[in-house]
Structure 1
Amino acid sequence: MSLETVVEDIRDEARARAEEIISDADERAEEIVAEAEADKEDTLAEAEAEIEKQIEQEQEQRLSSAKLEAKQERLEARRDALERVYDAVKTELTELDEERRRELTTALLDSAAAEFEDGAEIDVYGRPGDEELLASILDSYDGFELAGEHDCLGGVVLESDSSNVRVNNTFDAVLEEVWEDNLRDISTRLFDQ
């Protein structure tokens, strides 16, 4: 074997080794590219899933906000309607005819008078404009004296210095009590669903 043959064999072996290395490198490069493609697909799928999740969350938040806003508007509308009804009742009370006003004021005075001891000196206060009505009603009550005005829709406030008792039997007080006690029923009647 000559030196040229040995050199040629070494070159052939080197070329074969180089081709094997290149082939291995190509395979490894293809694997890396395939892994990168798979990672890209996974990353893309994860990103799409995350975006979908964010979109769903945003939609849920918007829907929830819209529902809350609608509920608040509905409650506000109901509150406004109840307020209008309350104001309408107050208006009706201020516009009672004299006979009905006398009847109700007498009933409220009788009810309040029961809270005081017999023979007590009682100061009576009433709505501005009801002085004549109260004076005529009080003619039938011993120890009761018209003492002045009370800012109210009607009815009476009775006070006694001797027993330190004060009874507020005004239309306002009765209306407030009846309103509070029956608000649920009133609301149900107005907004029955």
Structure 2
Amino acid sequence: MSLDTVVEDIRDEARARAEEIRSQGEARAEEIIADAEADAERIVEEREQSVEKQIAQEREQTLSSAKLEAKQQRLEARRDVLQRVHEQVEEELVDLSGTKRENLTRTLLDDASEEFDSTATVQVYGRPSDEALLTKILTDYDGYSFAGEYDCLGGVVVESTSSRVRVNNTFDSVLEDVWEDNLKELSTRLFDQ
């Protein structure tokens, strides 16, 4: 064999080996690229899921906040309506006049009188503008006298000079008792459909 043939064989062998290394390198590069693309797809998918989850959470939080705010506004509106109704009732009680006011005042005085002995000296307090009405009514009660003003919508505050008993039978106290006892029913009537 000649030297040229040996050189050519070595070259062929080197070329074949280079081609094999190049093929292996390309195959490895394709494998690395495929792995990188798969990793990239997985990362993109994970990020998309994470973003979608975050969006869903933020949407739910926003919806919950909006529902809570709406509920608070409804409750506040209900409180305002109930307050206006209460104020309107107070105004109507203040505006009561004539026989209706006299009959209610007598009824409240009669109820308060049950707490005192028939021989007791009793002092009656009332709304400043009701003094004439109370003085007139008290002429029908022995031992009872108008003792002064009491800041109220009407009715009476009655106390005995001989005992520590004091009975508050004002329109205000009756209204508050009735209001508390019937608030749920009133709210249901006004707001439930």
2:96 aligned residue: 96
1-side partners of 2:62 and 2:108: how far apart? 54
Taking structure 1 as the reference length, the TM-score comes to 0.93
User: Aligned partner of 1:131: which letter?
Assistant: E
Tell me, in whole angstroms, the C-alpha distance in 1 between the residues paired with 2:128 and 2:5.
135
Match in the other structure for 2:64: 64
Q: What are the residue-to-residue correspondences of 1:92-171 with 2, within 5 Å?
A: 92-171=92-171
Pick which of 49-58 and 126-135 moved more.
Answer: 49-58
**What's the TM-score once normalised by structure 2's chain length?**
0.93
Kindly report the root-mean-square deviation, in angstroms, between the aligned alpha carbons of the 2 structures.
1.6
Unmatched 5+ residue regions in structure 2? Answer: none
Output aligned runs, 1:22-61, within 5 Å. Answer: 22-61=22-61
Deviations 1:10-37 (A, max 9, x none): 3333332222222111111101101111
In structure 2, relative to structure 1, the CA distance for the partners of 1:4 and 1:81 (3 Å cut) is same
* In structure 2, C-alpha distance between the alignment counterparts of 1:17 and 1:10, rounded to whole Å: 10
SS at 2:129's partner residue? coil
For 2:15 and 2:121, how far apart are their aligned partners in 1? 131
Name the CA distance, whole Å, in 2 between partners of 1:32 and 1:122.
105
* Counterpart-to-counterpart distance in 2, 1:159 and 1:16: 124
Query: Following TM superposition, by how much is the alpha carbon of 1:2 offset from its aligned partner in structure 2, in angstroms?
Result: 4.8
The Cα shift of 1:56 comes to 1.6
CA distance in 2, matches of 1:81, 1:160: 40
Deviations 1:38-80 (A, max 9, x none): 1111111111111111222222222222222221111111111
Q: Which residue of 2 aligns with 1:20?
A: 20
What is the percentage of aligned positions where both structures have the same residue?
Answer: 66
> Is residue 80 of structure 2 the alignment partner of residue 84 of structure 1?
no
Change (3 A) 1:117 1:14: farther
